[in-house]
Structure 1
Amino acid sequence: MFRRREAVPFAFVAEADRFRSNVTPPPRPRASKSQQVSRVLVGLAVAAGFAGSLFFGLPSLESDQASGHAQRSEASQGR
């Protein structure tokens, strides 16, 4: 019925929020010019892919109401 709460079995889990280190990590090395250029080119390629998919995909998503009515009217005229 009533269950007693157990203490955290590992002390480091309970103390993890309170622990502060006085050791600072070393600074990250700066990216070289070629790495920066390659990142920019990859970003442009991804952006161009999204833009191209929208450019070629949106016309196929449009509902052509005029062409649907034209097909129906041609079918009714054939009878």
Structure 2
Amino acid sequence: MFRRREPVPFAFVAEADRFRSNVTPPPSGRASFGQIAGRCLLGLTIVAGIVGALVLGMPALSLTHSPTQTQQASHGH
């Protein structure tokens, strides 16, 4: 880590920068079949929601006018 440039009034604060724990974290266990299936289902649900929002939202974002508006404009001339 980095060293402090300014003097520190408390020694334990300066020691905290270079403190290393001797406690090792527990090993991570393997995910069960149900957990893997649940994560896949959650991912597919999120992707399907995004795709569905795009499919439903694309007509609203398009710049083309509806056929009724162009027919009304052509009849006006």
Instruction: Place the TM-score, normalised by the shorter chain, in its bin.
Output: 0.5 to 0.7
Separation in 2, partners of 1:28, 1:61: 46
Q: Structure 1 residues 45, 11: CA separation in 2 closer, same or farther (over 3 Å shift)?
A: farther
Structure 2, unmatched stretches of 5+, are: 1-6
Shift of 1:56: 1.5
TM-score normalized with structure 1 length: 0.65
Report the residue type matching 2:32 in the other structure: S
Separation in 1, partners of 2:12, 2:39: 40
Report the residue type matching 2:43 in the other structure: G
Shift of 1:16: 3.0
- Report the 3-state secondary structure (helix = DSSP H, G, I; strand = E; otherwise coil) of the residue aligned with 1:57: helix
Q: Provide the aligned C-alpha RMSD in A.
A: 2.8
Report the residue type matching 1:49 in the other structure: G
Structure 1, unmatched stretches of 5+, are: 1-6
Give the stretch that moved more between structures: 37-46 or 62-71: 62-71
Give the stretch that moved more between structures: 14-23 or 62-71: 62-71
Q: Give the count of matched residue pairs.
A: 71
Q: Which has the higher contact order (CA 8 A, sep 6+)?
A: 2
Report the residue type matching 2:46 in the other structure: V
